[in-house]
C-alpha cells in the first residue's frame, strides 16, 4: 500500500484488521486510511452541491456497472436538467443561483434512496444512478424528484421545473 502511495496510486486501503497491536505501522496505516478518505472526498465531490462530481461519476459508475453485471441486476441513469435556471442566474445573480443549486441537489437526494448515487454533471445538471432499478421504480423516482424540485420552487416563489431523461 505504501509503495503504491509513493507512486501516486491511492486506490488501495491499508488493512487494519490484519494488525493485532497498534504498532507504528498500524498507526501510520490508520492515518493513511483517514487521509485517503479525506482526499477522496475532496477529489470526487462537488463542493457546491455536495454531490459527486464528474470524476466521481466516472469512477463510481464503472464500479456500479460492474456490480450490476456481476449480480445480473438492472441499473438506471436519470439525467436531470433544471428548467429556467439561466433566468434565475440572470435576474437574481449567480450567488442566489448557487443557493438554488444547493437546494435542488438536497431535494434530489431527499427524493431518492440512500443507496442511489448523485452527481453534479455541470451547471444545473444532476445525474442520479439508481441501482437495482425496475422500470416502475425508475419512473416513480423520476416523478418524486420532479415533485421535490417543484415543491422547493413553489415554497421559494421561483419559476423553475426540471426535465429528466431516463436510461
Cα–Cα distance for residue pair 5/16, rounded to 1 Å: 16
Q: Give the burial string for 77-102 (b: 16+ CB within 10 Å, else e).
A: bbebebeebeebbeeeeeeebeebbe
Cα–Cα distance for residue pair 126/52, rounded to 1 Å: 10
Q: Which residue out of 9, 23, 124, 136 is catalytically annotated?
A: 124
Cα–Cα distance for residue pair 82/104, rounded to 1 Å: 8
* DSSP letter, residue 13: P
Q: Catalytic site residue 15?
A: no
CB atoms within 10 A of CB 126: 28
45 Cβ contact list (under 8 Å, min separation 6):
51, 52, 53, 56
Chain centroid to CA 5: 25
Residues that are catalytic: 124
Amino acid at each position: 500500500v505504501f509503495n503504491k502511495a509513493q507512486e501516486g496510486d491511492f486506490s488501495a486501503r491499508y488493512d487494519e484488521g490484519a494488525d493485532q497491536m497498534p504498532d507504528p505501522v498500524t498507526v501510520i496505516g490508520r492515518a493513511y486510511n483517514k487521509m485517503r478518505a479525506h482526499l477522496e472526498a475532496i477529489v470526487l465531490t462537488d463542493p457546491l452541491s455536495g454531490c459527486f462530481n464528474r470524476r466521481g461519476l466516472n469512477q463510481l459508475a464503472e464500479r456500479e456497472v460492474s456490480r450490476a453485471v456481476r449480480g445480473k441486476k438492472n441499473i438506471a441513469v436519470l439525467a436531470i436538467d433544471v428548467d429556467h435556471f439561466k433566468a434565475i442566474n440572470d435576474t437574481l445573480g449567480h450567488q442566489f443561483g448557487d443557493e438554488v443549486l444547493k437546494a435542488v441537489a438536497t431535494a434530489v437526494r431527499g427524493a431518492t434512496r440512500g443507496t442511489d448515487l448523485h452527481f453534479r454533471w455541470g451547471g444545473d445538471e444532476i445525474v442520479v444512478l439508481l441501482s437495482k432499478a425496475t422500470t416502475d421504480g425508475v419512473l416513480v423516482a423520476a416523478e418524486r424528484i420532479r415533485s421535490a424540485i417543484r415543491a422547493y420552487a413553489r415554497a421559494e416563489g421561483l419559476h423553475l421545473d426540471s426535465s429528466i431523461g431516463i436510461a
